[in-house]
C-alpha cells in the first residue's frame, strides 16, 4: 500500500527531502509527474502522490518518510494495498536509469525495519543519478543498485518555474562551466531579446508609457525589467511622460466636472475649472518628483504613483503578473513570520538546499541558493569543540536539458559524524530546479554561504 500523511502533520518538512521518488510535496504546492503539473492534493499539509510512492521499495528497508516523521503521521494507506512486485515495477518506471539488482532493499524483505540501504551515490551518501532525489541522510548501507544512465523521470516539488545544477567546490570551475567571468555571463543573460515578439512587447509598452507611468515605482521597474530594453520603456521616461500627460488629463477632467455642474464650454466659465486641473497636476508632479527637488540623482529617485496609479495597478495586475513572472523560489514552510524562529526554520531549510530563488532573465536564469551558516547545537558538537560556524560545503552543479541540479555535501568528517545521527541535518542535499527552456552554459560564483549561478538559455 502507498504511504499517506494524516492531518496530524505539523508541516516540519523533514520527510520531503528523504523520499527517493520525490513523491512528497508541501501543501498547496502543485506536484509534477511525467513532466505534467497537477494541482496540490492537500492545501494544508505535506502530501504524498500515491502513484510516485513505492513505500521505498528498491531503496530502503523502511519507509524513509515514516522514519524521520516526528509525529508518526506517515502511515500505510489501508485503502490501497499494493504488492512488492507492483511497487518495484513502479520504482523501475520512475527510475528508468536505475537497475534494481536481485535482493533490492524492501520493507517486505526479511529483517527489514532496521538498516536502510542506498542506491549508488554521486555525492557522498546521497542517492543518485541526476533526477533522483536525495536519499535520507541516515541511509548508510553499501550501494546495491547500479545507475545505468543519467536520465530520469522523477521531478522535485517546486513552485511554478524550473531547475538547474552546477559543479565544483566553492570557487572551482567544472568542465561544463563557461570560461568567462561571472559578470560577463550575467551581462549576456541580461541582454535584451531581439525578435518580433520582444519588439512588439516593447512597442506596446512604448505606446502605453504615458499611461503606465502612472503606476508605482515597483510595477514600473518590473515592466522595465520584463521589456528588457530601456529604449522602449524605463521608469524615468514613463514617469516624465505621465506627468506631462496629467497636465492635459486633469484640466480636461476638471473642465468636465465644471460642465456637468453647469459651466458653459469655451467661455470664461470653464477657465476656473481648467485652472484647478492644472494646479492638481502641478501639486501631484511636485509630490512625485520631490526627491529630485532635494537633489537625489534621477536614477536613484523613487518615482511614485499618480492619483490614479493604484486603481490602474489593480486593473492591469493580471497583465503585470504575466509580464513579470520571474520563476521559482525554494520553499520555507513558515511564511509571513518574522523573528528568530523564522530564521531557524530558514536555516533548517538551507540544510536541504531548499532556500533559493530563480530569476528569469531575457537570455538566461540567475539562481541564488543559500547554504547553511551555523552548526546546530548538539552534545556531539560541544564534545568535539568545533564551534558553531558552518564550514563551506563541497558543491557540484550540473545542467541537463531544462534542469539544473546542485549537490552539496558536508566535507568535514567530524561534522558528518554529527549530521549522520540527526534526520534534521542531512549531510548531503540535492536540489533540482526545472526551468522553462533548454539550458546552455553556466557560470557560478560562491561567497559568504551564497551560491550564485547564471545559466544561459540554449535558444540565446
Ligand atoms: S514511503 Fe518512501 S517512496 Fe513513499 S512517500 Fe515515503 S519516502 Fe517516498
Ligand atoms: S515529517 Fe511528518 S510532520 Fe513533518 S512534514 Fe512530513 S509528514 Fe508532516
CATH number at residue 381: 2.60.40.790
Phi, psi of 143 (to 5 degrees): -65, 135
* pLDDT score at 181: 77
Same domain, 67 and 172: no
Domain boundary residue, one of 315, 337, 353: 315
Does 113 lie in the same domain as 11?
Answer: yes
5 alpha carbon – ligand 2 mean position (Å): 7
CA distances from 70 to 30, 107, 206 (A): 24, 20, 56
CA 42 to ligand 2 centroid distance, Å: 13
| Eight-state DSSP code of residue 52 | G
Residue 209 lies in a domain: no
Phi, psi of 409 (to 5 degrees): -135, 135
C-alpha 5 to ligand 1 mean position (Å): 10
Q: Find, among 432, 350, 443, 371, the residue nearest to 130 by Cα.
A: 432
Query: pLDDT digit string (tens) for 44-99?
Result: 888 999 999 999 998 888 898 888 888 888 998 888 889 999 999 999 998 888 88
234-259: average pLDDT: 92
Mean pLDDT on 247-271: 86
**Is residue 210, in this structure, part of any structural domain at all?**
no
pLDDT, the chain, mean? 76
Of ligand 1's listed atoms, the one at least distance from the Cα of 56 is: 2
**Same-domain status, 295 and 364:** no
For residue 439, what are the β-bridge partners? Answer: 457
In a domain, 198, yes or no: no
**216 Cα to the center of ligand 1, angstroms:** 47
Q: Is the CB of 46 under 6 A from ligand 2?
A: yes
| Ligand 2, atom 1, residue with closest C-alpha | 69
- Ligand 2 atom index nearest CA of 24: 6
Does one domain contain both 25 and 51?
yes
**33 lies in the same domain as 139:** yes
Atom 6 (ligand 2) nearest CA: 15
Question: Which protein residue has the closest C-alpha to ligand 1 atom 7?
Answer: 19
- pLDDT at residue number 308: 93
Residue nearest to atom 1 of ligand 1 (CA): 55
Residue pointed to by grid coordinates 502641478? 282
pLDDT at 88: 92
Residue where a domain terminates, one of 247, 281, 315: 315
Residue 379, domain member (yes or no): yes
Tell whether ligand 1 has an atom less than 6 A from the beta carbon of residue 116: no
Q: List 364's β-bridge partners, or say none.
A: 361, 456
CATH of the domain at 6: 3.30.70.20
- The answer to whether the CB of 13 is under 6 A from ligand 2 is yes
Q: Are residues 329 and 181 in the same domain?
A: yes
129 and 227 within one domain: no
Q: Work out the number of other CB atoms within 10 angstroms of the CB of residue 455.
A: 29
Domain boundary among 271, 290, 315: 315
Paired residues of 431 in beta bridges:
406
Same domain, 132 and 251: no
Residue 177 covered by a domain: yes
Asked whether residue 49 falls in the same domain as residue 132, the answer is: yes
Rounded to two decimals, the pTM is 0.42
Q: Residue 385 and residue 135: Cα distance in Å, rounded?
A: 29
Residue 206 C-alpha to ligand 1 middle, in angstroms?
52
- Verify that 458 and 362 share a domain, yes or no: yes
**Which of the listed ranges 139-148, 155-164, 319-328, 450-459 does the model predict with the highest average pLDDT?**
450-459
Return the ligand 2 atom nearest residue 68 CA: 1
Q: Quick check: is 199 in a domain?
A: no
Count the domains in the chain.
3
Does 10 sit in the ligand 2 pocket, CB within 6 Å? yes
Domain that holds residue 121: 1-155
Among all ligands shown, which has an atom nearest to the Cα of 348? 2
Do 237 and 186 sit in the same domain of this protein? no
Which ligand lies nearest to the CA atom of residue 107 in the structure? 1
Residue 175 domain flag: yes
Q: Which atom of ligand 2 is nearest to the CA of 12?
A: 4
Which pLDDT band, with edges at 50, 70 and 90, does 307 fall under?
very high
Residues 440 and 369 in one domain: yes
pLDDT category of residue 205 using cuts at 50, 70 and 90: confident
Ligand 1 near 223 CB (within 6 A): no
Position 207 in a domain:
no
Amino acid at each position: 500500500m502507498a504511504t499517506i500523511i494524516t492531518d496530524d502533520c505539523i508541516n516540519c518538512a523533514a520527510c520531503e527531502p528523504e523520499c527517493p521518488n520525490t513523491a512528497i510535496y508541501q501543501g498547496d504546492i502543485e506536484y509534477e509527474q511525467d513532466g505534467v503539473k497537477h494541482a496540490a492534493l492537500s492545501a494544508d499539509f505535506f502530501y504524498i502522490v500515491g502513484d510516485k510512492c513505492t513505500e521505498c521499495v528498491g531503496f530502503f528497508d523502511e519507509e524513509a518518510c515514516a522514519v524521520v516523521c516526528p509525529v508518526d503521521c506517515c502511515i500505510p494507506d489501508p485503502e490501497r494495498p499494493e504488492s512488492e512486485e507492483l511497487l518495484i515495477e513502479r520504482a523501475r518506471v520512475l527510475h528508468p536509469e536505475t537497475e534494481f539488482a536481485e535482493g533490492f532493499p524492501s520493507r517486505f524483505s526479511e529483517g527489514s525495519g532496521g538498516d536502510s540501504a542506498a542506491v549508488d551515490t554521486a555525492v557522498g551518501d546521497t542517492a543518485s543519478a541526476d533526477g533522483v532525489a536525495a536519499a535520507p541522510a541516515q541511509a548508510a548501507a553499501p550501494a546495491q543498485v547500479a545507475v545505468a544512465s543519467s536520465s530520469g523521470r522523477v521531478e522535485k516539488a517546486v513552485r511554478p518555474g524550473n531547475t538547474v545544477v552546477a559543479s565544483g567546490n566553492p570557487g572551482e570551475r567544472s568542465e561544463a562551466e563557461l570560461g568567462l567571468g561571472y559578470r560577463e555571463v550575467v551581462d549576456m543573460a541580461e541582454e535584451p531579446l531581439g525578435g518580433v515578439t520582444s519588439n512588439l512587447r516593447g512597442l506596446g509598452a512604448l505606446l502605453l508609457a504615458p499611461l503606465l507611468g502612472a503606476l508605482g515605482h515597483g510595477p514600473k521597474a518590473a515592466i522595465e525589467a520584463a521589456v528588457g530594453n530601456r529604449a522602449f520603456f524605463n521608469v524615468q521616461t514613463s514617469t516624465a511622460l505621465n506627468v506631462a500627460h496629467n497636465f492635459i488629463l486633469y484640466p480636461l477632467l476638471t473642465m468636465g466636472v465644471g460642465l456637468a455642474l453647469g459651466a458653459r464650454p469655451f467661455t470664461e466659465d470653464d477657465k476656473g475649472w481648467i485652472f484647478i486641473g492644472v494646479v492638481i497636476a502641478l501639486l501631484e508632479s511636485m509630490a512625485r518628483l520631490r526627491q529630485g527637488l532635494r537633489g537625489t540623482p534621477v536614477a536613484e529617485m523613487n518615482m511614485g504613483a499618480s492619483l490614479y496609479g493604484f486603481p490602474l495597478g489593480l486593473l492591469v495586475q493580471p497583465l503585470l503578473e504575466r509580464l513579470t513572472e520571474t520563476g521559482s523560489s525554494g520553499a520555507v514552510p513558515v511564511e509571513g513570520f518574522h523573528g528568530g524562529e523564522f530564521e531557524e526554520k530558514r536555516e533548517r531549510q538551507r540544510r536541504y538546499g531548499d532556500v533559493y530563488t530563480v530569476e528569469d532573465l531575457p537570455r538566461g536564469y540567475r539562481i541564488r541558493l543559500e547554504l547553511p551558516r551555523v552548526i546546530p547545537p548538539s552534545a556531539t558538537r560541544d564534545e568535539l569543540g568545533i564551534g558553531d560556524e558552518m564550514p563551506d560545503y563541497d558543491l557540484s552543479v550540473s545542467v541537463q536539458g531544462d534542469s539544473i541540479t546542485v549537490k552539496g555535501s558536508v566535507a568535514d568528517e567530524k561534522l558528518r559524524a554529527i549530521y549522520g545521527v540527526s534526520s534534521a541535518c542531512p549531510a548531503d542535499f540535492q536540489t533540482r530546479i526545472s526551468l522553462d527552456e533548454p539550458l546552455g552554459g553556466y557560470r557560478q560564483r560562491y561567497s559568504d554561504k551564497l551560491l550564485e549561478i547564471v545559466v544561459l538559455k540554449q535558444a540565446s
